A and B are shown apart, each in its own frame.
Chain A
Amino acid sequence: MRYLPLTAADRQAMLAAIGVPSIDALFADVPKAARLDGLVDLPRAQGELEVERALAAMAGKNLVAGAVPSFIGAGVYRHHVPASVEHLIQRGEFLTSYTPYQPEISQGTLQMLFEFQTQIALLTGMEVANASMYDGATACAEAVMMANRVTQRKKAILSGGLHPHYREVTRTHARFVGFQAKLAEPDPEAREDLASQIDGATSCVVVQSPGAFGHLRDYSALAEACHKAGALLIVVVTEAVSLGAVKSPGAMGADIVAGEGQSLGNALNFGGPHLGLFATRERYVRQMPGRLVGETVDADGRRGWVLTLSTREQHIRREKATSNICTNSGLCALAASIHLALLGEAGFTRLAALNHAKAVALAERLAAVPGVSVMNDTFFNEFTLRLSKPSAGVVERLARKKILAGVPASRLYPGKPALKNLLLVAATETTTEADTSAFATALARVLS
């Protein structure tokens, strides 16, 4: 079988049909500087063993989070994923991650997604959760668009404690979908007052719990202020394990919860693929984006599962659909669901408590280092340090000592000099005392 079925004559005929002189002319809109001139200079073909050696040597230059003390969080968290999760998701019955186009033939996949939805609804304290979104940031943007549909308004207020990547993704949607996204200033001390900014045009207020700088706040009063003004409260959760320890967004009065589920059974995955979580109140279910699995009975009265409320979706409702998402992160959702099932409620609560305890120990240790102050009065497993030097340089120097010291705020908020000495530091159940000790010792040396 030929893999290049087009002849030069075929190409000429197609170009002539659309009236373009050459293939290059099709790329006239790409700026010259971004165009590739000539062929890429690749080495000659190599054997499998040579390629393996070359790639291993390149990979060896990485500082791997699992191999060194790592305190990186800021939206992606390294947790222990039991081998049983890996094993189970690779079973042939599950591995095809795509939500099938003829869904009801795959009862096992639908049952798993139904259980996942139930788990997410319980964790977030909401009434209904969907079968997952692409990731936390797109879930956040979708939540805002849903609030716009529910309220028939077009102005979202985004907290300064919302992860900057989530803010950017939402702003991109705002630009092209046509709504207003009002960004509050970055809020490293979680002191902002968003309630006073709500007006009659506001569709929703978007906050994050724990916030991007690690703070925990009770948003119950804000939820009330939103509802009084006819707006919705969207609570974003980027560290799903926190839901085992803190008051749920549902209990605070959130109308929509958008989140990142990577922490549940999923590896860091180089920043993706990840797992978007989406939950809401039953009264808004018809405005919810994404796939939804429902429980039913078949003609013989046996329990079964279906994709339900599909008429909201693009393949049926076209341009009036709630969203252009026609899929979900099936395999990542499976991993999350299996991990949660293995932990059980008691195990999950203990995991959350352990994360917090490790973070408290880390904060106490680091606070004792000269030139370091902890900015948080509250946190779950991540907090913000103020250093006596710009944090980007400190992180670089610690990386040379094979310690991944966290995420400099300047990397998340470029062009904000007031934040340049801030460092986001996370601990999880994987953090050992030796890790904490190595970090504190090395940090003291770098800051002295």
Chain B
Amino acid sequence: MTLKYTKDHEWVRVDGATAVVGISDYAQTQLGDVVYVEVPEVGRKLEQGKEAAVVESVKAASEVYAPISGEVTAVNAELAGEPGRVNADPMGEGWFFKMTVAKPKELEALMDEAQYKAYVEGLG
């Protein structure tokens, strides 16, 4: 199992052929109370770096970008009724969607836990 982060504060956890995607704890803190999450349709083909979802908080609406390329296989339907899960448990119950891993090589360019931690600290 591999956990990686993007500069746009998405995380992607890869387990075999499937990846789970969400936003980082830093991202949810910056956004504040999340009130709505627009997840992609199952079956949609995502391209790395392109818009995949929208997360809306009381103060902003932000795009969530696909950390890697692949096809959406499942979405977190619980977020529709309980968007607060993104704040409460961003790395767990607050996941956004699951996808296939079309190009495993793309993962190499992403940050690991330590690198992301340093990156966030650098943002001050």
Contact = CB atoms under 8 A, between A and B. Distances in A.
Interface of A: 286, 311-312, 316-317, 320
Nearest to B63: A320
B38 interface: yes
Contacts of A316: 59-61
B38 A286 contact: yes
Given A286-B36, A286-B38, A311 B60 contact: yes
Interface string B20-46: 000000000000000010100000000
A311 B60 CA distance: 6
**Residue among B36, B38, B61 with the most chain A CB within 10 A?**
B61
Contacts of B59: 311, 316
A316 B63 CA distance: 13
A156 B57 CA distance: 32
**Interface size, B (range):** under 10
Is the contact region of chain A dominated by helix, strand, or loop, or is it mixed? helix
Contacts of B60: 311, 316-317
Interface of B: 36, 38, 56-57, 59-61, 63
Contacts of A311: 56-57, 59-61
Contact of A317 (B36, B38, B61): B61
Given A316-B61, A320-B61, A320-B63, 12 more contacts: A286-B36, A286-B38, A286-B56, A311-B56, A311-B57, A311-B59, A311-B61, A312-B61, A316-B59, A316-B60, A317-B60, A317-B61
B103 to A, nearest CB: 24
The 3 closest A-B pairs by CB, nearest first: A311-B61, A317-B61, A311-B56
Contacts of A286: 36, 38, 56
B79 to A, nearest CB: 14
B108 to A, nearest CB: 30
**Residue among A286, A311, A312 with the most chain B CB within 10 A?**
A311
A338 B63 CA distance: 40
Nearest to A287: B38
Nearest to B61: A311
6 contacts: A286-B38, A311-B56, A311-B61, A316-B59, A316-B60, A316-B61
Contacts of B38: 286
A316 B31 CA distance: 13
Contacts of A320: 61, 63
B87 to A, nearest CB: 16
B75 to A, nearest CB: 16
A292 to B, nearest CB: 14
Nearest to B35: A311
A311 B56 CA distance: 7
B61 to A, nearest CB: 4
Nearest to B41: A152
A312 B60 CA distance: 9
Contacts of B63: 320
A290 to B, nearest CB: 16
Contacts of B36: 286
A312 B62 CA distance: 10
Contacts of A317: 60-61
B105 to A, nearest CB: 28
A312 B38 CA distance: 13
A136 to B, nearest CB: 28
A262 B31 CA distance: 41
A423 B63 CA distance: 51
